[in-house]
Amino acid sequence: MRATSSLVALIGLAALGACTPETDTGESNFMNLCAGCHGDDGRGTGPAAVSLDAVPADLTLIAARNGGRFPMVEVMSKIDGYAKGEEHHGAMPAFWPLLEGRTVLVQTGDGILTPTPEPLVELAEYIRSIQRDGTDAE
């Protein structure tokens, strides 16, 4: 009887895991963490933008503002708050506590692969994917 109960419990836990797919992706984290200020489209027009002292950046023009190059490491540093050092100033919060977890190796430009939280890399990759050249008439 005990073995049957244990087996049923294990099957139940396995089924529960199968029914809860991994939903934290770069896009979902963007919608949860960034869209409130930067907008669903990343252009700085989220619902919270009107109550901020500073206008949120248009995240779709990061590469355009950098000569066509998307500065991946700088973007990740801005998101996680590392670029601000110990003191946090400004409207954008540091999201590093929400972006911890499994790490992946990222080339940071110094020839060294740096372990970086995977959710942070995925979020920066999503922001890279929404880049535009800034020439559209919208």
Give a yes or no: residue 33 inside a domain.
yes
Q: In this predicted model, what pLDDT tens digit does every residue of 42-94 receive, in sequence order?
A: 999 999 999 998 899 999 999 999 999 999 999 998 888 766 555 555 677 87
The number of distinct structural domains making up the chain is: 1
DSSP code at position 57: P
Give a yes or no: residue 100 inside a domain.
yes
Q: What is the reported pLDDT for 12?
A: 37
Confidence of residue 22 (pLDDT cuts 50, 70, 90): low
- For residue 10, the Cα-to-chain-centroid distance in whole angstroms is 34
Give a yes or no: residue 119 inside a domain.
yes
Q: Which domain holds residue 33?
A: 24-129
Give a yes or no: residue 13 inside a domain.
no
Give a yes or no: residue 136 inside a domain.
no
Q: Which residues contact 126 (CB under 8 A, 6 or more apart)?
A: 25, 26, 27, 29, 30
Cα Rg, the chain, nearest whole Å: 19
Q: Domain of 30: which CATH number?
A: 1.10.760
Give a yes or no: residue 91 inside a domain.
yes
More confident residue, 129 or 97: 129
